[in-house]
Amino acid sequence: MNISNIYRASTWFEVLQTNELSQTAVMTLKPGQATGAEAESHKEGQQVLLLIIGKLAAEVAGEVSNLSPGDVVLIPPGTKHKFTNHGTGPAVTFNVYSPPVYPPDEKD
């Protein structure tokens, strides 16, 4: 059994688990931090993002929405997306990618 804990992540983005079909990761953005300067996409894999703590602005396919804890976003393969923490505290997300899009030991 492969069990991971999101609160043990040591970097802002960390892959937790990977198998042939899917992958889990945790992302923590500090206030003012974004996932990148520009929106990105994953050509082959879809992403499910669950906001656990904090507030995020989600830009998906050019549309912007504000996320609160408990909100889930499904991002189809090839769809440009970017997340920005406009809150005053950290924003923590749990992500699932199917199929995997990152190396199994990815840590940024």
Enumerate the domain spans of the chain: 6-98
User: Per-residue confidence at 106, pLDDT binned at 50, 70, 90?
Assistant: confident
Tally Cβ neighbours within 10 Å of residue 108. Answer: 9
DSSP bridge partners of 26? 14, 94
At the second CATH level, the architecture of 6-98 is Sandwich (2.60)
The pTM score is: 0.93
Q: Span 21-32, mean pLDDT?
A: 97
